[in-house]
Amino acid sequence: MFIEFFRRLANRTNDIRIKPKLIVSFILVVFVPVLIVGVFLTLAFRQNVLDQATQQVGSNVDRVKSQIANIVRMPLEVSDNLLSDARLMNVVNTQYASTYSVVEAYREYRDIRDSVKLYNEIHNIRFYYTNPTMLDNWEFLRITPEKTREPWFHQAMTEDGIRWQYVGDETKGNRKYLSLVRKVNFPLYRTSGVLVITIDPEVLGSMMRQEAFDTMIIEDNGYIVAAKDGALVGKNINDATFNSPIAGKSEGTYEFRYDGKPSRVVIEKLIPTSSRNGLRVVSVFAVDSIVGGANRISLLGLAIMLVSLAVAWGLIYLTSTLISKRMLLLHKDLNKVAMGDLNVISSVSGNDEIGMLSRQFNNMVVSIRGLMDEVADSESQKAQLLLRQREIKLKMMASQINPHFLFNALESIRMKAHMNGQKEISVVVRMLGKMIRQNLEVGNRRIAIRDEIEVVRCYLEIQKFRYGGDRLSFLLDVDESCASAELPPLVIQPLVENAVVHGLDHVEQGGFVSVRVYRNEEGVGIEIKDNGSGIDEERMGSILRSFDDMEEEEQYRIGLRNVHQRLIMIYGESFGLRIESVLGEGTRITFNIPTGGLRHA
């Protein structure tokens, strides 16, 4: 279906003239892809800037959390010390007889005052007590009914543990501060009090003013306890009049309108050590402030891209017009030739493809005129050639010898030798006839290894007869499990012939050739080995190079090369011949045949 569609599309395209074809191709191949890529890159660039800004905001939030953890660490340590302070327990639970004794106890107990002076993070420390004999001062305050009705104080009295809340300080004109609030129990006296440690707002404000983005710290009840914008401190994000989109948001990254601008907000929570609640760190940045530069760069890039496309459009239009005009001139000249005018000379110039086509057209017209003059001579030469071919065929038929004549003649010689008592000659002639028949009947079919080995046996017996004496002996060792495996014909016999003719050429006595067929991991392994004169390194290199040479003329290499190339053509590169030779000791040739008989990569 798709092939048919593309075929019809190609046919339809072939019907369009070059000028509109070039213009449409420009729109589809250049204009549209460039616009798509430009828009995609612009959006990707914008998103990348946003992601980097979000990552930076996340890093800033982590840094703020780390700084807050350092700020609240000292108040936590002070509260832990006061929780186990025996002197504080005595001051709060002693029943004083006079005002002087109370004042004297306050004067001697300096831990609270010293902590406020020592640690910059601590703005004030207050302890609320229930002892009726004590007096209120800036450090110790009586628990009043009004105080117990305040939600934060009631929660502190009913629950153990540390809480971080934004509460007022009556010693500072009821100004609210981020405070550590915890209940302090005195089991020995079965009494308790409430410890309040306020964090210095200037420390928090100084930290927030260093942030690059709008950042704020919000406690559990929604109060902003510190912010880069100081005007936000003290406001509650849950207040309907504040109308903050941050209200009710948990940890995460959000996108919404903040102060009327599209913004991205990162919220993370910090729970100080041993605390029942924690703080939220919120960082906000306006999207336009981040991507403004990216948008300007994108618009500039878009403008440059549009100008470039406009220039390219003009060039394409001009080029297509020039090409069409020259093609029309060449088309008129072609029509004249088609009408039989062979005196036409194209006037289209130039070194481009159209100019080359024009010159080739002129050459073609000249060639046609010359060919027309040669037609008559060609016809007569053709007749003479046909006559010559008939004569050659007759000579070839006369020179052919019927193969059956060869077999019958050899059989007659064998019978004559047998009748005359020449049994050895009879056997050799029979083997020769078998070899000739095998070679003449070779085709594309594969043969069993046992049949190939039988041809090898006949060849070696004939050579042994020729040489006489002890000059040649041989051994054929065939694993019976491999005998029925098939291989291409005339693979082993040429290698054995090479071993006898070239390997044992200079051996006058004791020449030995062995052929071994065995099972291995590749399938069937075949080894041809002789104890001849061997091959020196120079000749070995020449033989190996000849394996890839299609024009090798030396006879002793043709057999090896043909066998090697047939093996790799049928079975693959790894199944070619492997030759090992030691000069003066002999040569060993091995190769493998896969049992499946298929080509391997």
> What is the tens place of the pLDDT at every residue in 10-37?
667 666 767 676 777 778 777 788 778 7
Residue 240, pLDDT score? 56
Q: Is residue 441 part of a domain?
A: no
pLDDT band at 79 (very low <50, low <70, confident <90, very high): very high
Q: Is residue 394 part of a domain?
A: no
**Selected residue with higher pLDDT from 350 and 73:** 73
At 84, give phi and psi (nearest 5°).
-110, 15
> What is the tens place of the pLDDT at every residue in 455-494?
899 888 888 888 776 788 899 999 999 999 999 888 898 8
Residue 528, pLDDT score? 94
**Selected residue with higher pLDDT from 224 and 465:** 224
Check which CATH number belongs to the domain holding 470 and give it.
Answer: 3.30.565.10
Q: Note whether 477 and 329 are same-domain residues.
A: no
Mean pLDDT of 98-120: 92
Whole-number Å distance between alpha carbons of 523 and 546: 27
Domain boundary among 335, 350, 371: 335
Domain boundary among 335, 367, 385: 335
Residue 200, pLDDT score? 93
398: pLDDT strictly greater than 60: no
Altogether, the residues listed in the chain come to a count of: 601
Q: Is residue 397 part of a domain?
A: no
Whole-number Å distance between alpha carbons of 229 and 207: 12
Residue 389, pLDDT score? 44
**Selected residue with higher pLDDT from 223 and 355:** 223
Give the range of the structural domain holding residue 63, as residue numbers without chain letter. 1-335
pLDDT band at 563 (very low <50, low <70, confident <90, very high): confident
Domain boundary among 335, 368, 398: 335
Q: Which two tokens stand for residue 25?
A: 């191709």
> What is the tens place of the pLDDT at every residue in 566-580?
888 888 888 889 999
Q: Is residue 353 part of a domain?
A: no
Whole-number Å distance between alpha carbons of 207 and 388: 110
Q: Note whether 325 and 468 are same-domain residues.
A: no
Q: Is residue 278 part of a domain?
A: yes
Amino acid identity for residue 530 in this structure: D
Residue 584, pLDDT score? 84
pLDDT band at 307 (very low <50, low <70, confident <90, very high): confident
What residues contact 593, with CB distance under 8 A and at least 6 apart? 485, 487, 522, 523, 524, 526, 571, 575
> What is the tens place of the pLDDT at every residue in 329-384?
777 777 877 777 777 777 777 777 777 777 777 788 778 777 877 775 666 656 65
**Selected residue with higher pLDDT from 356 and 552:** 356
292: pLDDT strictly greater than 90: no
Residue 597, pLDDT score? 52
400: pLDDT strictly greater than 60: no
Q: Is residue 244 part of a domain?
A: yes
The region that residue 497 occupies, defined by phi over 0 for left and psi between -120 and 50 for alpha, beta otherwise, is alpha
Mean pLDDT of 144-161: 91
Mean pLDDT of the chain: 81
Q: Is residue 443 part of a domain?
A: no
* Cα four-point dihedral sign 413, 417, 422, 427: positive
Q: Is residue 399 part of a domain?
A: no
At 252, give phi and psi (nearest 5°).
145, -175
99: pLDDT strictly greater than 70: yes
Q: CA nearest 279: which of 217, 197, 236? A: 217
530: pLDDT strictly greater than 80: yes
Residue 44, pLDDT score? 76
Q: Which two tokens stand for residue 324?
A: 């069409």
Cα angle value 13/18/20 (rounded, 5°): 80
265: pLDDT strictly greater than 80: yes
Beta strands per DSSP E along 317-412 = none
Please state the domain count of the chain: 2
pLDDT band at 395 (very low <50, low <70, confident <90, very high): very low
Q: Can you tell me whether residue 373 is helix, strand or coil?
A: helix
Whole-number Å distance between alpha carbons of 430 and 424: 10
Q: Which helix (H) or strand (E) holds 533?
A: none
